[in-house]
Amino acid sequence: MINTSIEAASAAVSVPAYPEAPDTIPAVRSASRQNIYASVTAQIVAELEAGIRPWIKPWHAEHAAGRITRPLRHNGQPYSGINILMLWAAATARGFIAPIWMTFRQAQELGAHVRKGEKGSPVVYANTVSRPEIDNDTGEETEHAIPYMKAYTVFNVEQIDALPAHYYAKAEPRFDPPGRIARAEAFFASLEFDIRHGGNQAYYAVTNDYVQMPPFEAFRDAESYYSTLGHECCHATRHPLRLDRDFGRKRWGDEGYAIEELVAELGAAFLCADLELTPEVRDDHSAYIASWLKVLKDDKRAIFAAAAHAQRAVDFLRALQPHAGAVPESRAA
């Protein structure tokens, strides 16, 4: 089981202005919360058992919002954490091309309406609320953070009629020339990590704090290089002087090792979406699938915690950028 609770992992991510007034969305009861954990985990387990990694899709080739993107709210703000996986999965299962989602009420406020019979997709919102507690021994009052989760339903814009035209806009034809990609080069250069090139392996060495990469020319295309580099840079955020992330890994292939790899895989997928890159499906990570399945089956909260840690890793990397607008702003789920 992951040794960092989902409540702590979720609460550690910054929280945006909520798309609905919080008191209009019912808090998830304990039993319902467990059902959300179980439902999302079961879906991801099923895809992994089928040999599919649900965080490596879908890429929106036909929508003006972007060739590759995170799921977006009605105002263009990206979802994050576990909601990325939930909405990517929903889009893939139902064949949606548009990456934009909104609530029933938000559609109404835009003068539009959800088509009769359409079924929405769930997303969740996790945070903490502070409540005063009195110490029985000293009588002192202290603030105690209590985690909670709220669930609400959103609809893809393809389920909604009469929205403004830009919600349905198709992408303009675009040619991506081969070679290095300027936006990715700028992003990784800004990290100022020790990134070394040579050999035929990609890894992060935590003891000496450096990322090792094969030469750029060794990759089949530029996106494969940057996707792999993003994965290793997500690993680098676990260093004690950065996010100090530790799942109790003792040796290669143990549960802690597999969980850290899952965090880096998710983080790389989120980062690739921000940079409009296609994630690399690395054959050398296939061996982790069995370990991931065991972890997810043993702990229904594991994928939520892994997604929250991945979000923190990406947020850390983004915070090192010189301009806040370098990539789309990431917020809590």
- Other beta carbons less than 10 A from residue 224's beta carbon: 18
pLDDT at 268: 94
CB 234 within 8 A of CB 274: no
CB proximity list for 105: less than 8 A, separation 6 or greater: 20
CA 45 – CA 48 distance, rounded (Å): 5
Q: In the beta sheet, which residues pair with residue 31?
A: none
CA–CA separation, 331 and 294 (whole Å): 29
3 state DSSP class of 224: helix
Lowest average pLDDT, out of 20-34, 57-71, 181-195, 300-314, goes to 20-34
More confident residue, 64 or 266: 266
The per-residue pLDDT of the chain, averaged, comes to 81
State how far the Cα of 264 lies from the Cα of 266, in Å rounded to an integer.
5
pLDDT digits (tens, 9 = 90+) for 265-284: 999 999 999 999 988 766 65
Q: What is the spatial distance between Cα 130 and Cα 97, in angstroms, rounded to a whole number? A: 40
Report CA Rg, the chain.
Answer: 20
| Tokens 């198709």, residue located | 170
Amino acid at 56: I
Q: pLDDT: is 26 or 185 the higher one?
A: 185
The backbone torsions φ and ψ at residue 156, rounded to the nearest 5 degrees and listed phi first, read -70, 150
The 10s digit of each residue's pLDDT in 24-60 is 444 444 556 667 888 888 988 888 887 777 776 544 4
What is the average pLDDT across 133-162?
Answer: 87
Task: Spell out the alpha helix ranges (H) of 248-327.
Answer: 255-275, 288-298, 302-319
Banded model confidence at residue 13, pLDDT cuts 50, 70, 90: very low
201 contact partners, CB below 8 Å, separation of at least 6: 212, 214
Q: What is the pTM of this model?
A: 0.72
The structure tokens listed for 36 are: 């959300």
Residue 100: which of 53, 125, 64 has the closest Cα? 64
Take residue 176 and report the two structure tokens written for it: 């991506």
Instruction: Report whether 60 contacts 88 (CB < 8 A).
Output: no
Please give the average per-residue pLDDT across 176-204, as a whole number. Answer: 89
In this structure, what are the phi and psi dihedrals at residue 278, rounded to the nearest 5 degrees? -80, 125
Which among 259, 265, 242, 263 is positioned nearest to 320, based on CA atoms?
Answer: 242
